[in-house]
Chains A and B, each alone.
Chain A
Amino acid sequence: MDAVLILLLFVLVLSIFLGVELISKVPSILHTPLMSGANAISGITIVGAILTSRAENIESELSFALGMVAVFFATVNVVGGYLVTNRMLGMFKKK
């Protein structure tokens, strides 16, 4: 258990550094699409939401119900986020 946790913390630290490196070069004209695109990625919590319908969660009705509401919200976040970003980026044209 602890080994897994340490490994995940390791992943976390590296991801933060990677994120900083990736984003710091984005030109300001793309700030809005970047933000809404990143927001869609934060909808990854949908994976956690789906996993709340594992066998052990279903035994607790409340736990299961909360998870399913989470599926709804995360899906709005993911689908809406990617679509609206795509729509916005479609408008950025060069003549």
Chain B
Amino acid sequence: MQDTGRFQSGMRKAAQIPIEITVQLWKSVFRHGLPLTDRIATRTALTNYWLHAHPPRIRKSHMKFSYTFCLGGISFFLFILLTVTGLFLMFYYVPSVTYAYQNMKDLQYAVSFGIVMRNLHRWSAHAMVITVWLHMCRVFYTGSYKPPREFNWGIGVLLLLMTLLLSFTGYLLPWDQLSLWAVTVGTNMAKYAPIMGPQVRFSMLGSYTVGNATVLRFYVAHVLGLPLAAAIAMMVHFWRVRKDGFSGNL
């Protein structure tokens, strides 16, 4: 009898194991129990960066849409959209002067929904430049660049620069007349830089004129280097928004 009892209690314990594992797994992600009450649900959301990237407490007046206009959020959304559509475009695009223009035209006329992908990418890119600028203006006009947020302003300026560089490098990739001369003009502006202007231009182009080396260079920067750098800067940027809080006293 005693043995059977021990066996039964062992079975009961064994039956608990999957539940315990599930609970531990849940807690490892959300740090709180199941959101069975409002209190737990609130805590779960507020302590989780993924569920609540914004600071948990801000002024009521800053909750209004017209305080931020969601400009940073829209910029980030566009960045995600650009990453996804860009990834799709890469399946049909070869960064070489022989194929680039033809591939771009293929995307427009020979690939199912290719024109949707390309235009989404193009218009999102235009829109992102606009929203990033407006975001900077909004931060300026609400005085949100002042201490202790001056570091995040600096990160934001870097992100603006990277957005513009992403636009500039992407401009060359269709390899049409507009691309060619825009990059010729843009890199000639770099040439006017003091002391080492011509060297800067040469290392940007990878040759003396805009050509195959330039397309490859701009492509690598456009699809890998700059997005990676921007993603890292964004991680810091968002984290600082959460930790520094919104501007103004509570």
To the question of whether A and B form a pair in one complex, the answer is: no
